[in-house]
Amino acid sequence: MYDKGKVITGIVLFVIVFTFPFWINVGKANIAPEPKINPEVAGKVCVEDKAFMKANHMQLLDEWRDSVVRDGNRTYMGGTGRYEMSLTNSCMGCHNNKAQFCDSCHNYVSLTPNCWNCHIESKENTNG
């Protein structure tokens, strides 16, 4: 092999740089946040059960989005009743604490959903 030294040094450097995020964070794992439910709505049921919502809320919102915008269907038969398919009105109507309910988890996994570029957070925050 030509330039053995250079090649091996290069590989070692690459491995170090590539794995940098892992070993710099060893032993520093943050505890996953628990999304907080607004106390006023504690005990109420969501459009689907908690486990389903936890795993699928993003797909559900995507389906709602297409259904409302493209098909003109605006209501949803959930496991517990009929709901308006609306992020602002239905979801945020109960979960009106975006910071504790949405952002805490999304920030933890460093995710920035585009929803809020257009949809307005909640009635409380925008009365000005």
Partner 1 sequence: MDSARRNFLKIAGLAAAGLTLKPAGNALGMGVIVPEPEGAAGFDNALSAKRWAMVVDTRKFTAQARKAAVAACNKAHNVPDIKNSKHAIKWLWEANFKNAFPEMAGPHVPPQVEREPMLVLCNHCDSPPCVRVCPTKATFKRADGIVVMDFHRCIGCRYCMAACPYGSRSFNYVDPRQHLGQTNVDFPTRTKGVVEKCNFCAERLARGQKPACVEACRNNELIFGDLADPNSSVNQALRQNFTLVRKPELGTQPQVYYII
Asked whether 79 and 49 are in contact (CB, 8 A), the reply is yes
Chain residues in the site for partner 1 (CB under 8 A)? 52, 56, 59-60, 63, 65, 67, 69-77, 80-84, 86, 88-90, 93, 114, 117-120, 122-123, 126, 128
Q: How far is the CB of 59 from partner 1 (least distance, A)?
A: 4
- In the complex, least distance from residue 54 CB atom to partner 1, rounded to whole angstroms: 13
| Sequence-separated (6 or more) residues with CB below 8 Å from residue 67 | 73, 74, 76, 85
- Residue number, 26 or 118, with CB nearest to partner 1: 118
d(CA 92, CA 61): 12
CB of 128 to partner 1, least distance (A): 8
Q: How far is the CB of 47 from partner 1 (least distance, A)?
A: 9
Give the separation between CA 81 and CA 65, rounded to whole angstroms: 19
- The nearer residue to partner 1, 33 or 84, going by C-beta atoms, is 84
When the beta carbons of 30 and 126 are compared against partner 1, the nearer one is 126
Nearer to partner 1, 29 or 118 (CB): 118
Give bridge partners of residue 78 from the DSSP assignment.
Answer: 81
Residue for token digits 């259904």?
A: 67
Cα(43)–Cα(46) distance, integer angstroms: 9
